[in-house]
Amino acid sequence: MEVSAASHPLDHHDAAFGSRLRAAREALGRDLETCAHALKLPLRILRKLEQGEHAGIDSKIYLASYIGKYGQYLGISEAEIQAEQARIRQAEPPLVATGGVSHSRFLFDRYATAATYLVLTLVIVVPTVWFGVRSTLDRDLSHLTPLDASPVAQQDVQATVPGKPGAAAAAAAPVAKAPVAQPAQDQPLMASMAPFPSLGDDAPQPPKVAAPAAAADAGTGGHSLSVNLSAASWIEVTGQDGTRLEYGLLPAGSSKTWHSDQPLDVRIGNVGGAQVSIDGQPVALDGFRHANVAHFRVQIADGKAAAASL
């Protein structure tokens, strides 16, 4: 019997304090239901406290609180309550770790998911951006061509030699002169309106200049715009409704006149080799010149036509 008592010292103390609680409650003439209702505690908790069966209480962490609250309600001295609470805390078994994780493993588990999402984002976003940029750069845009591009050398023309029927001889073609360096303000203005479409990886070929055309008239109207070219030049003449009356590269020696009763927008490249007149009156192009391109409008006011800045 002594061995059994020594083996369960906590049960003896629990039963003794439980009897003390029950005796105090009975001395006050109260039943368990009344006490449970007054303390707002489950009836089974108070019953187990009086029976000393602490092992049956689910919330061990609140055991000391239950004892203190019930003891104060029954009028038990504070010293007895604190002694019982201290004994219960000392009797709690220590927590034993059943497994451990190394610090490196903890860090790996913590950041592995974030790294996975980052990699998946890069795999999706980077190719999408790359394809978008590449498709923009690979658009079939026209090559930039200077409006004042020098004409290329004429191709050799087969000619019949007099006195030798059926024989062909190559006519000597004029050799294109090397372009002369121009001042900064006369550098050609690059424009994308030149109709030379992209040919893949092949370098853009300069336009061939047709043979000088004879003087020609175009359009109808009471006012005229005339252009005489001493050097090849790009000409664009657009009507008020957006119709292009002229759009192309004219060779040196060309002379052309456009008739219209409506305003005209005019753009001339290689302006140094062009002479312009409106209704027979010469026009000074220096006031409309930007680099080596002149851009102006033929305005009609009070029955008179004149050049005006845009």
What confidence category does residue 88 fall into, taking pLDDT thresholds of 50, 70 and 90? confident
For the domain spanning 216-308, the CATH number is: 2.60.40
Cα–Cα separations (whole angstroms), residue 241 to 69, 260, 263: 98, 12, 9
pLDDT above 60 for 2 = no
Sorted by sequence, the CB contacts under 8 Å of residue 60 that are 6+ apart come out as 54, 92
Residue of 209, 263, 268 lying closest to 236 (CA atoms)? 268
Rounded to two decimals, what is the model's pTM? 0.34
All CATH 2.60.40 domain ranges of the chain, comma separated, are 216-308
User: Residues spanned by CATH 1.10.260.40 within the chain?
Assistant: 2-91
Worst-scoring range by mean pLDDT, 59-68, 95-104, 141-150? 141-150
Tell me: the pLDDT tens digits for 204-244? Answer: 555 554 555 556 787 777 888 899 999 999 899 998 888 88
In sequence order, what are the residues at sequence separation of 6 or more whose Cβ sits closer than 8 angstroms to the Cβ of residue 253?
Answer: 212, 229, 230
| The pair of three-digit structure tokens given for residue 221, joined into one six-digit string | 């109207």
CATH number of this structure's domain 2-91: 1.10.260.40
Average pLDDT, stretch 292-309? Answer: 87
